[in-house]
Amino acid sequence: MFYDKLFSSLDFTLPRAATGRRGFPKEAMVCAFIVMKCEGFTQITDLMDYLDNNRLIAHYCGFNIMEPLPSYWTYDRCLRQLNSGALKSIMANLVRKLYELGVVDASFVGLDSTPVMANTKQNNPKSFAKSKFSKENE
């Protein structure tokens, strides 16, 4: 399975607090955010529903599936506390590792050439520019 290979190639342990509640493992939370990125989810609620309906993937992340999974606020708090630079570094190392394992293929490059329409006189329908429909503006 994809996530099994993905998470088995990760070798990181994040420090745990010496005092306070145990909470969920930080490694499992980071793995859940990797699942969120891989599945293309933009909302934490989508991630929660996905992991709740796919307990095997939650297990691969490192959660105890016999207990309740993290709440929305737990994910939100963890996401705010995570260093985005560290998360980018983990993702970059993960892509390199997956390339070495042959899971990711780099035989093609995809580019998005969709034009971004700026709000200018030429493409604003409410504008009364005289040369708006001129062939020179294309």
Tell me if 38 is assigned to some domain. yes
pLDDT band at 115 (very low <50, low <70, confident <90, very high): confident
Residue 122 pLDDT > 70: no
Model's pTM, two decimal places? 0.67
**What CA–CA distance (Å, rounded) separates 16 from 29?**
13
Tell me if 123 is assigned to some domain. no
Q: Which tokens hold the place of 17?
A: 């607090």
Task: Report pLDDT digits (tens) over 61-108.
Answer: 999 999 999 999 999 998 888 877 877 888 888 888 878 877 777 787
**Residue 3: C-alpha distances to residues 23, 48, 61, 86, 87 (Å):** 23, 16, 8, 20, 17
Task: Report pLDDT digits (tens) over 23-57.
Answer: 888 889 989 999 998 899 999 999 999 999 999 99
Q: Which tokens hold the place of 77?
A: 């708090």
Tell me if 51 is assigned to some domain. yes
pLDDT, position 130: 64
Domain with 18, as residue range(s), is 2-101
Tell me if 108 is assigned to some domain. no
pLDDT, position 124: 65
**What CA–CA distance (Å, rounded) separates 56 from 47?**
14
Tell me if 119 is assigned to some domain. no
Whether 48 and 78 have beta carbons less than 8 Å apart is answered as no
The residue to which tokens 């929305």 are assigned = 72
Tell me if 43 is assigned to some domain. yes
pLDDT, position 21: 72
- The number of distinct structural domains making up the chain is 1
Pairwise pLDDT comparison (126 vs 82), residue with the higher score: 82
